[in-house]
Amino acid sequence: MTVTFYGNVLKYTNGDRTFAMCGYSVLSEVLDELCLHYGEGFKAFINGSETCLILINGQGLTLTGGINTPVKCGDNIEILPFVGAG
């Protein structure tokens, strides 16, 4: 699967725009691996309250099963910052 990072998420990924991985069965495992790879700053960002949006194959987690969403090689995971407008 390919994880793609957008916007200010990049400051937590050392500028990496993508991360390729395989061998995980649920999103929570993917996020755990990303937290191990990118460290505490990334972990704090991902676990923060309403700081990012995660899409799996273009669908938000509310439609897929949250962090327990099944994943497989070939999936596209996108991590985007929330953007507010007034």
Does the model's pTM come out above 0.85?
yes
Which of 32-41, 49-58, 65-74 bottoms out in mean pLDDT, i.e. has the lowest?
49-58
Q: State the Cα–Cα distance between residues 5 and 15, nearest whole angstrom.
A: 9
Type of residue numbered 33: E
Token couple for 14: 């050392």
Q: What is the mean predicted confidence (pLDDT) over 32-56?
A: 89
Contact 25, 33 (CB under 8 A): no
Domains in the chain, ordered, with CATH?
A: 2-81 (3.10.20.30)
